[in-house]
Amino acid sequence: MITAEEPSLGQAARRRLLWSYGLGDIGTGMAATQLGFYLFVFYTGVVGLPAWMAGLVLMVLKVWDGINDPLVGWLSDHTKNPWGPRLPWMAGSALPLGLALVAMWWVPPGGNWQKFAILVAIQLVAMGLYTCVNLPYSALASELTSSTQLRTQLNASRFTGSILAGLAGLVLGALLVSQGAEGYMRMGRVSGIVLTVFTLLCCWGLAPFARSCQRPTGHPEPIRRQLQRIAANPRFLKVVGLYLLLWCALQL
């Protein structure tokens, strides 16, 4: 990282930073929760795919995640922009991702294999755009400040917004999915609008801080050395373990 000298923040600026960063995970948090709870049921109960084929769609997406996450991370690291390497990705992907979230809850025509192909194509685009928003956003927490205390507050703000939005998304889904295909589409429209609006508000709020945030050097530490440092950090390993257990429980 290229570290610029960090200016001291007044109360108003600090409040804007925390609130703006907290807004950034509202849309993606709502979308992720709805996808985790309702997507498989939508594929089998509304689209009409057999369970094994619906599971195959989700498996393809997991493989795609393993490809596009490091790819978008590398591209973002090498982005040169006055507003930093992260905000252009978030702002540019917000509206397309909002539209893609609506398309994810559409029932395509045709037989099972035609539906499968269409759904995979939609999901590949949507999850690629999701990465373009969420991965640069996640990187900002450590780049906006070198203060451990402020980084902790940024992440607290982020996950507060994400959890509240996720709960709201579950309630919204419970109210709408009983309406069948049209209910799922309405849920997708609300989710898409929320994601687009709050992601753009986050970008607007963070723009003054992004100018002076830390930048990637373009010369990353060798992966082997990074893994060695991770293995020697027991606190980090505990957090990763808890995170994995949490998501295993959510997926079940």
pLDDT digits (tens, 9 = 90+) for 41-63: 999 999 999 999 999 999 999 89
* Structural domain contains residue 64: yes
Residue with the larger pLDDT of the pair 214 and 122? 122
Q: Are 83 and 188 in a shared domain?
A: yes
Cα separation, 32 vs 29, whole angstroms: 5
Q: Please indicate, yes or no, whether residues 165 and 241 belong to a single structural domain of this protein.
A: no
Confidence band of 3 (pLDDT split at 50, 70, 90):
very low
Looking at the fold, whether 119 and 234 belong to one and the same domain comes out as: no
The model's confidence at residue 5, banded by pLDDT at 50, 70 and 90, is: very low
Confidence of residue 4 (pLDDT cuts 50, 70, 90): very low
Q: Does the pLDDT value for residue 224 go beyond 50?
A: yes
Residue 232 and residue 149 share a domain: no
In 3D, which of 77, 22, 13, 2 has the Cα closest to residue 209?
A: 13
In a domain, 5, yes or no: no
Whole-model pTM: value is 0.86
Can you tell me the mean pLDDT for 167-178?
Answer: 93
Q: 201 and 244: one domain?
A: no
Is there a domain that residue 53 lies in?
A: yes
Is the domain of 205 the same as that of 168?
A: yes
Nearest to 28 by CA among 145, 198, 172: 198
Local confidence band at 8 (pLDDT 50, 70, 90 cut-offs): low
Query: Could you give the residue ranges of the DSSP H alpha helices within the chain?
Result: 11-23, 26-41, 51-77, 87-103, 112-143, 148-176, 181-210, 223-231, 234-251
What is the per-residue pLDDT for 13?
A: 86
Q: What is the chain's mean pLDDT, rounded?
A: 89
Say if residue 147 is in the same domain as residue 238: no
* pLDDT at 217 (0 to 100): 66
Q: Same domain for 49 and 71?
A: yes
Report residue 140 CA to chain centroid gap. Answer: 13
Would residue 149 count as lying in a domain?
yes
- Asked whether residue 207 is domain-assigned, the answer is yes
Q: What is the CATH number of the domain that holds 205?
A: 1.20.1250.20
State what percent of residues in the chain have pLDDT above 90: 62
Looking at the structure, tell me whether residues 75 and 167 fall in a common domain: yes
Q: 237 and 146 in one domain?
A: no
**Measured between alpha carbons, how far is 95 from 192 in angstroms, rounded to an integer?**
8
164/42 same-domain check: yes
Count: domains in the chain: 2
110 part of a folded domain: yes
pLDDT of residue 38: 94
What digits encode the pLDDT tens for the residues 115-145?
999 999 999 999 999 999 999 999 998 888 8
Domain that holds residue 54: 11-220
- If asked whether residues 234 and 147 sit together in one domain, one would say no
